[in-house]
């Protein structure tokens, strides 16, 4: 096993190793676990979140051993990098990688568990969500801040930003599911807009985000931002549903 523990948590290394060994038989399931399994555990009175990544297929087993960092390691390293850049994410604790003769087998990413008030998804699914306009505008400013820092969060989708109301009544944002990110010296207009296109299919939400983004970004007008973002959104939705229809057909033929 290969692993690394955050310096803050080195005193808990043995306990973390034991928890990983007992992962299958203990802990509380969190979420639906369709691809990866997430469980909650107690660590000295603190709730921690352990994500067990799906065992990679044969080629990726080899790739993750010799050519690429595992998803668990990337999640840990990107979390630390985000915190260093002043971007919210649950405190990273450790990553663990199990290898066999072929390559990578099981891998785990551990972080502190963060109880949130909502995610972006609630803003999409509940049109009259309390303070919706304010949250959406503050989320847009948060996303603009990511872009200004050169952070391209490739999984910038509705469930991957946790949102908490803070003591002064504003909202704080925390990125999760971190294994797919790129960091740039600067981001082009097109890259910024593509990074936002997976969030909502609702044109009125895109309009609000375009309006708020235009207040901060002086390289394009609000009309240009709206036109570009909506086009990328429509393209993404078309591609998403085309894939969904194809999967249904494949499942039918398998039957």
Residue 154, pLDDT score: 97
DSSP 27: S
In the chain, what are the domain boundaries?
A: 2-112, 118-243
Contact present, 62 and 103 (Cβ < 8 Å)? yes
Share of the chain above pLDDT 90, in %: 89
Token duo for residue 124: 């999409």
Tell whether the model's pLDDT for residue 78 goes beyond 70: yes
Cα four-point dihedral sign 51, 52, 53, 54: negative
The CATH number of the structural domain formed by 2-112 is: 3.30.200
* Residues 99-149 pLDDT 10s: 998 999 999 999 999 999 999 999 999 999 999 999 999 999 999 999 999
| pTM of the predicted model as reported, rounded to 2 decimal places | 0.91
Token pair 């033929």 is at which residue? 253
Token duo for residue 42: 């107690």
Tell whether the model's pLDDT for residue 253 goes beyond 60: no
* Residues 49-75 pLDDT 10s: 999 999 999 899 999 988 999 999 999
Residue 248, pLDDT score: 63
Q: Do domains 2-112 and 118-243 have the same CATH topology?
A: no
Residue 245's pLDDT band (cuts 50, 70, 90):
low
* Residues 168-203 pLDDT 10s: 999 999 999 999 999 999 999 999 999 999 999 999
The CATH number of the structural domain formed by 118-243 is: 1.10.510
Q: What kind and span of H or E run contains 171?
A: strand 171-175
Per DSSP, helices labelled H in 40-148 are: 58-66, 71-84, 120-125, 132-148
> Cα separation of 62 and 148, whole Å?
36
Contact present, 33 and 74 (Cβ < 8 Å)? no
């Amino acid at each position: 096993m290969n692993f690394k523990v955050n310096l803050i948590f080195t005193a808990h290394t043995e306990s973390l190793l034991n928890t990983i060994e007992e992962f299958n038989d203990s802990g509380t399931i969190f979420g639906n676990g369709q691809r990866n399994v997430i469980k909650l555990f107690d660590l000295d009175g603190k709730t921690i979140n352990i994500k067990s990544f799906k065992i990679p297929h044969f080629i990726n087993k080899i790739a993750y051993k010799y050519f690429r960092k595992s998803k668990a390691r990337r999640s840990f390293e990107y979390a630390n990098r985000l915190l260093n850049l002043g971007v919210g994410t649950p405190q990273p604790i450790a990553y663990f990688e199990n290898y066999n003769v072929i390559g990578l087998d099981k891998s785990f990413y551990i972080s502190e568990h963060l109880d949130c008030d909502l995610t972006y998804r609630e803003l999409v699914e509940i049109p009259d969500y309390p303070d919706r306009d304010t949250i959406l505008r503050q989320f847009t400013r948060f996303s603009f801040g990511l872009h200004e820092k050169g952070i391209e969060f490739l999984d910038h989708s509705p469930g991957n930003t946790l949102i908490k109301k803070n003591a002064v009544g504003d909202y704080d944002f925390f990125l999760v599911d971190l294994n797919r990110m790129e960091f740039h010296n600067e981001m082009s207009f097109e890259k910024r807009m593509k990074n936002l296109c997976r969030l909502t299919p609702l044109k009125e939400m895109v309009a609000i985000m375009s309006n708020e983004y235009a207040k901060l970004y002086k390289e394009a007008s609000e009309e240009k931002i709206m036109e570009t973002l909506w086009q990328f959104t429509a393209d993404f939705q078309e591609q998403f549903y085309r894939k969904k229809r194809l999967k249904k057909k494949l499942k039918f033929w398998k039957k």
